[in-house]
Every structure is written in C-alpha cells, then in structure tokens.
Amino acid sequence: MTPSRRAVLAAMAGGALAGCAGPQSTVNRSASVTGSPSAPAAIATGRGTPGSSPSASASRAVTRADIVARYGHAVPHTWGFDAPAVVHALPTTGRVIALTFDACGGPGGSGYDRALIDFLRRRDIPATLFINSRWIDANPAIFRRLAAEPLFEIANHGTRHRPLSVTGRSAYGIPGTRSAAEVYDEISGNQTKLTRLLGKPPRFFRSGTAYCDDVAARIVTALGERFVSFSVNGDGGATFTPEQVRTTVAAAPGGSIVICHMNHPRGGTARGITAAVPQLLATGHSFTRLSDALH
C-alpha cells in the first residue's frame, strides 16, 4: 500500500463510509484492513470463453449453485478495501477524475440530493452512480430519469447494502454477507433488477461500505462485474461539512476515483462538490464516467 493510500484510509477514521448505513449506524474502525432474499437462479454474464460466438457467450450463465460449488469452501485472506482485482484508481496519471456517488437505500438512506445532481447537469459533469436495490424501490421515477441520461451511468451497489464477506464480517456496524451464497445474492439480486431496467447488465459493483474480502471480490468478477473501490473519500460517508468536501475533492490528484453520496440531501456533499468542481476545472482537470476510462 502506498503512503498516499495509507493517508486516505487514515483520514477516513470517524466519518468513514457510514453514511450508507443511515443515522443509526456506528463506525467500527477496529475492522482489519489486512488480513437476503435469494436472487434468480441464473444470471447471464454475457462473457464466454475466448473464441466463443456471441450467441454462445450471451447464453452462458453463472448460477448460485455454481458459486457455492466453486467458492463455498474458499478461505479469505484479506478484508478491507484492497482485495486483488479491486479497482481503486483510473489507469492514467493525467488530470482526469472519476466522480462516483453512492445511493444506499434503506432506513435513513433513500433520500435524493437533487441539488447535487442538478449541479452536475448544469455543468455537464459526467459521473457514475452506484445505486442500491432499495433506493431504486424508493425512487423509481427519479431512477428512470437518471438511467436515461447519457451524462450518468448506473452501477451496482448491491441488493441489501452489505459489506461483501464470505464469513459474516462487518464494517461500520453493518453485518456482512455470511457465505458465498449470500455474496451471490447481494450481487445478483440488484444485477438482475438493473439488467431489466437498463436493458443491459451493469459493468461495475461496489459493496455496501466498499469493504470486501478476496473471495467475495472473485465472485464479483465471476458474475461479470468489476469491483470498484475508491482512492479519495470525498464526503466521509456523507458526514463531512461542505468545506471538508470542498477541500478533500479539490485536492484529488489526476487518476482519482472519488466516492461521495447522493442520498443525503441535508449533508454537505452538494455544496462541497459545487465548490470543488470549478476549482478542478480551473486547474485543467476533466471528469469521466468509469466506463469511459476503464476498458
């Protein structure tokens, strides 16, 4: 882990990513960074073996039973934000930044920060929106509008907003999934919903709290998505003041993936982003959706 990465994680103490959990959650920084209802039985991944025809590839599916058979007895070796294959930054050193906003759903987490989204629209700032199944259920009309706008892309933020674990580990007081089967349910439940609503499967996944173990991260890949974490915690789980958001986001280096939240309209995220983005534009930075930067 680089010194800058350690600094980012250290700065998360206190606020962290608890904003996804709602006001009743507690922050648990003792979790080590080192070491639902069932979804439909099959999810078509659209990814076949090399050389397979498109029709054959599209018909391939990974079932819950497949995941249990392959990963049910696997022992995880990591827990936190840094599992192998998890994406933390863009593959560039140029002045390009990916703004990502989580919508976590559930009690205390199904709000809509209209001021934030309207600002992004006015300034034509692209962003990737990680949306939880519960938030979609609470905001169906808003979701449809967001999904129809090319400025934004929709990514998978899970079905019940759980940290992604095969052993039941928790993060910030939120219980994690307890097995490979529950990991499958957490990913594929919302994957199925988004595929139906968008007409295509989502490309990217972020778990509730962004925590995962290495086995769970491999299951994300097996289900055809890429686990995207972050390199800059822009709003401290929707706990930062507007000034804290501004200073944190405005200091993001090129290649950063910034995580903030779009489900807490009373927080400081919108005002902070509204102040930070013009500063970054003035210094020659630009913004991208994840799908336009990660190939």
pLDDT (tens digit per residue) in 157-216: 999 999 999 999 999 999 999 999 999 999 999 999 999 999 999 999 999 999 999 999
* Residues 6+ away with beta carbon under 8 Å from 103: 109, 112, 129, 130, 131, 132, 135, 139, 157, 261, 262, 263
- Residue 277 CB: number of other CB atoms within 10 A? 21
**Longest alpha-carbon distance in the chain:** 53
Q: What is the pLDDT of residue 167?
A: 98
Q: What percent of the chain has pLDDT over 70?
A: 80
SS3 274: helix
> What's the confidence (pLDDT) of residue 93?
84
Strands of 29-83, DSSP E: 42-44, 61-63, 79-80
Residue 241 has a pLDDT of: 98
Contact between residue 96 and residue 254 where contact means Cβ atoms under 8 Å apart: yes
For residues 86 and 227, give the distance between their C-alpha atoms in angstroms, rounded to a whole number: 5
Q: How far apart are CA 196 and CA 2, in angstroms?
A: 40
For the chain, which residues score pLDDT lower than 70?
Answer: 1-60
pLDDT of residue 295: 83
Question: Mean pLDDT over all residues of the chain?
Answer: 86
Separation CA 3–CA 160 (nearest Å): 33
**Confidence (pLDDT) at 41:** 37
**pLDDT given at position 73:** 97
